[in-house]
Amino acid sequence: MEPLTRTQILVVMGVTAIILLIIAKVWQYFGSIALLKIQFSQNGLLFGFALAGIIIVASSIVYRLWPAYRQSADSYLQLVLKPLVWPDLIWLGLLPGLSEELLFRGVMLPALGYDLLAVILSSLVFGVLHLSGVQQWPYVVWATIVGFALGYSALVTDNLLVPITAHILTNWMSSALWKFNNRSSDVTS
C-alpha cells in the first residue's frame, strides 16, 4: 500500500468519524435506542484514566512479548502515525475516541442487549474495524481485547464517559510513545 500523506490521514480520520457518528445516529433513531448515559463525574474520569493506564501497560507488554503483534502494530502505526505531526495526535485521540465509543459502546451495546454477549459482539466488530489487511490479524486481536475492556467498563459503570476517556487517553499516549520512540525515522516532524 502506498504511504498516505498527512492530509490524507487527517481527512480519512475525519470522514471515518463522521460516518461512524451517522451510523450511530441512524441506528439510534430507527432502532429507538437510548444512548448510554455520559455522566460527568470524578469517579468516571478516574476510572477512565486507570483503564487507559492498564491498556497502555498491557499493550507495551504484549508488544514486547508477541513478535507478530509488534510487527502488525508497527506496520499499522507506521502507516498512520509517521506522516502526522505532534499536534495531529490531538485529532487521533479525539476523533476515534468519541465516534467509536458513541457507536460501539453508546449505541451498539444497548441495541444488542446491554449484557456480556453484547460486549463480546461489539468487541468483535470493533476489532474487525481495525483490519487494514490480512497480515494485520494480530492488531485486530488486540483491538478486540481492548474493545472488550472498553465495553465491559461501560457495562460495569453504566457510564459512557469511562470508555470515552480511556479510548482518547490510550490513543494519545500510545501514539505519542510510538512517535517518540520512532522519532529518528520521522522526517515530517
Q: pLDDT tens, 1-12?
A: 677 899 999 999
Chain segment 89-147, per-residue pLDDT in tens: 999 999 999 999 999 999 999 999 999 999 999 999 999 998 877 788 999 999 999 99
Average pLDDT, rounded, for the chain: 92
3-state DSSP call for residue 13? helix
- Strand, helix or coil for residue 78: helix
